[in-house]
Amino acid sequence: MTEVVVFHHGHGLTAGVRAFAEHWRQAGHTVHVPDLYEGQVFDSFEEGIGYAENAGFDTITERGTAAAEGLPAELVYVGFSLGVLPAQKLAQTRPGAKGALLLEACVPVSQFGDAWPQDVPVQIHGMDADPFFAGEGDVDAARAVVGAAADAELFLYPGDRHLFTDSSLPSYDEQATVQVNHRVLGFLDRISRKSTT
């Protein structure tokens, strides 16, 4: 099966992120979930992002990069919102990457290099009226990735919630998350089959 590393969002390593990872483990994948906040979890999005701003977004990204150093190179990198920063950086720059799953965020490819690596498939998920994903340019960056990558998909879900995939937060949308999980597991299975052929 596929080996995956998951980077959490701005609230920290919540029960909802852990539950998502456990769902993939139960499907047979090996899943690593590093804590980029050094044990801190925040009830409010504002507090969590405040922590990330004080630490520095580059520092959070580098913590993710450091967490991956002890893992095999052949990984799928998964990021939820803030966690997209280390996930996208590693998918674009670390040799051996098997794929990327970017949930509820995407940054311009130019932030981490000149182009999306053509041998790295990517799947991007977000809500079509999410004020962060749709309102701050992430969806435009996602469309640019899809237009430039050899194997890329963008899935938009109706709604305006950010962090809709985290079952431990009030923003959770169960119906949309079921769809996300179905598509993500299909993506991981496809990569697994490709790796064994």
Cβ count near 28 (within 10 Å): 12
CATH architecture of the domain with range 3-196: 3-Layer(aba) Sandwich (3.40)
Q: At what angle do helices 57-69 and 84-93 cross, to 10 degrees?
A: 50
Q: What is the pLDDT of residue 1?
A: 84
Report the candidate in 92, 137, 133, 126 with the shortest Cα–Cα distance to residue 111: 92
Cβ count near 97 (within 10 Å): 22
Q: Count of alpha carbons within 13 Å of 43, Cβ hemisphere only?
A: 0
pTM for the predicted model, two decimal places: 0.96
Residues 6+ apart with CB under 8 A from 148: 109, 115, 116
CA trace torsion 55, 60, 63, 64 (10° rounding): 170
> Could you state, in order of their start, the residue ranges of all structural domains in the chain?
3-196
Q: What is the pLDDT along the chain (197 residues), one digit of tens a residue?
A: 899 999 999 999 999 999 999 999 999 999 999 999 999 999 999 999 999 999 999 999 999 999 999 899 999 999 999 999 999 999 999 999 999 999 999 999 999 988 999 999 999 999 999 999 999 999 999 999 999 899 999 999 999 999 999 999 999 999 999 999 999 999 999 998 887 65
143 phi and psi, to 5 degrees?
Answer: -65, -35
